[in-house]
Amino acid sequence: IFDSMVVAVHSASTGTRLATLASYSNLNRATAYAQSAALDLSAFAGQTVVLVFEATMDSSNLTAFFIDDITCC
């Protein structure tokens, strides 16, 4: 794996990672331009959390991760 991205939930008060909701990499890329995902945040109902998108890439065979149209609640 050269390039990866995780979608995680962090505590708004401490910054601690509470859960990793999804992981993507250049190995599971979509054949189309976009990949769609619905992520379940119900375990955090009533809490104030931060949704974090963290991408890691090396300098060869760059992978682009695009985030668009995020809705919640």
Q: What is the pLDDT of residues 43-59, one digit of tens each?
A: 999 999 999 999 988 87
Q: What is the pLDDT of residues 20-38, one digit of tens each?
A: 999 888 777 666 656 677 8
> What is the structure's pLDDT at 24?
84
- Cβ burial 34-45 (10 Å sphere, 16+ → b, else e): eeeeeeeeeeee
> What is the structure's pLDDT at 61?
73
CB 26 within 8 A of CB 1: yes
> What is the structure's pLDDT at 7?
93
- Separation CA 9–CA 17 (nearest Å): 6
> What is the structure's pLDDT at 72?
80
Report the predicted TM-score, pTM, of the whole model to 2 decimal places: 0.79
